[in-house]
Amino acid sequence: MAKKLVTDLQVAGKKVIVRVDFNVPHKGDVITDDNRIVAALPTIKYLLENNAKVILLSHLGKVDYKKSEEEIEAAKKKNDMAIVAKRLQEHLPDNKVIFVNATKGEELENAINGMNEGEVVLMQNTRYEKGESKNDPELGKYWASLGDLFVEDAFGSVHRAHASTVGIPTHLPSAAGFLVEKELKFLGDAVENPVRPFVGILGGAKVADKLKVINNLLEKCDTLIIGGGMAYTFLKAQGKEIGSSLVDDEKLDYCKQMLEKAKELGKELLLPVDTVVADHFPDPIDGPIETEVVSSDAIPAAKQGLDIGPETAKLFAEKVKAAKTVVWNGPMGVFENPTLAVGTNEVAKALAECEGTTIIGGGDSAAAIKQLGYADKVSHVSTGGGASLEFLEGNGLPGVDIINEK
């Protein structure tokens, strides 16, 4: 990577602003998964061990400023960073973590100016500021004035040009943290310099969500596997009966183009050969549901496909296990339902057994691999679903592009 890394900075005695991704799932005051906090610890600890004063910025949840004042305040209350400060202190027992319930002003400035080396200040949720998501230049300039250096370590946010990701490093010397470095290395090596055979797996609901990813991966990989809801648009594009399955009719021509492109490039594009169907979508999503397995050539008119079938799972798994590089983004079915998680589980199991480099591209795929118990058996689970997709599309990442070159 040509970007400066945190190890390239002289941090001793400096106030180092670190954009982290502490957007953790929580129910009330209880954090249900602190993986994102844990993922940021290597960079934070490195800075503390090298006598920096560490200022952490992160968002938590969403605040929609188009809503009423009452709804905005409720969203802020729901997404208060105080719960994160408490958990972070547990992970850093030998260092003082100071939570500041402010995003601007005297309280924040005094806390930062009063810091000692080896201490941490965690600022309140960046999205408490309306100008954050608009990359307000004055907000970015103000936050930059609070520190001496900037480190970007929130891979889950680098695809967004926000004040905390792009505005701050516009004004300060900047570098990538260890998490961002790791993410870019795994994804970059996989896409640009893969050990072959290289297998891409795409799932999820809609073709429209992954237009550029399909096109880009088709050019890079040897085999492209397509499952999940998006597979039915491809099947319909082949002239097959898909019953009442999810379909994106506006993208049928695009799917035909991709099928033709695969032939022209000599690439293998694999679609389901059998499908698990039901007469309705599960409601609740994890509730009991009656299913049957049918050929993907002839899904009954009143049925909808909700998971790949056993023959498809076997076909996909064989391709995955034989690969040297695998990138997976998107589940094979409605994995939140135990009955409909079999296909996703089989693919996840194959990734765990693959001896090559296996990368999970964040989002639902990361949730699935963790839920199914295989997260520690793959090479890398990305912390950023949206950022991973942007990267796989071949797009730039604003929060990375702004970082100083070596």
Q: What is the DSSP letter of 52?
A: P
Give per-residue pLDDT as tens, 147-180: 999 999 999 999 999 999 999 999 999 999 999 9
Longest alpha-carbon distance in the chain: 70
Among residues 238, 200, 232, 236, the alpha carbon closest in space to that of 219 is found at 200
Indicate if 174 and 224 belong to the same structural domain: no
* 199 and 166 within one domain: no
Per-residue model confidence (pLDDT) at position 286: 93
Using CA atoms, how far residue 16 sits from 108, 118, 172, in Å, is 15, 11, 10
My answer on whether 142 and 213 are in the same domain is no
pLDDT at residue number 1: 54
Domain's final residue, options 128, 159, 181: 181
Please name the amino acid found at residue 9. L
Task: Give the structural domain span for 368.
Answer: 194-392
Give residue 405's pLDDT.
Answer: 95
Q: Residues of the chain with pLDDT > 70: what percent?
A: 100
Residues of the chain by 3-state class (helix, strand, coil), percent to 5: 45, 20, 40
Q: Say if residue 10 is in the same domain as residue 122.
A: yes
Question: How far apart are alpha carbons 393 and 389 in whole angstroms?
Answer: 6
Check whether residue 292 and residue 152 sit in a common domain. Answer: no
| Residue that terminates a domain, selected from 159, 181, 203 | 181
Q: Which residues are catalytic?
A: 36, 206, 363, 386
Is there a single domain that holds both residue 207 and residue 254? yes
In a domain, 400, yes or no: no
**Nearest 5°: CA angle at 157, between 348 and 347?**
5
List the CATH number of the domain containing 324. 3.40.50.1260
Q: Are residues 110 and 237 in the same domain?
A: no
177 and 282 co-located in one domain: no
CB 118 within 8 Å of CB 164: no
> What pLDDT was estimated at residue 209?
78
Beta-carbon count within 10 A of 327 CB: 29
- Clarify whether residues 173 and 224 are in a common domain: no
Same domain, 64 and 165: yes
Does residue 399 lie in a domain region? Answer: no
The answer to the question of residue 248 being in a domain is yes
> Cβ–Cβ contacts within 10 Å for residue 18, how many?
24
Q: What is the pLDDT of residues 199-232, one digit of tens each?
A: 999 998 877 878 888 999 999 999 999 999 999 9
Taking only the tens of pLDDT, the chain with its 406 residues reads: 589 999 999 999 999 999 999 999 999 889 998 989 999 999 999 999 999 999 999 999 999 999 999 999 999 999 999 999 999 999 999 999 999 999 999 999 999 999 999 999 999 999 999 999 999 999 999 999 999 999 999 999 999 999 999 999 999 999 999 999 999 999 888 888 999 999 999 998 877 878 888 999 999 999 999 999 999 999 999 999 999 999 999 999 999 999 999 999 999 999 999 999 999 999 999 999 999 999 999 899 999 999 999 999 999 999 999 999 999 999 999 999 999 999 999 999 999 999 999 999 867 788 888 888 898 999 998 888 788 888 888 888 999 999 999 9
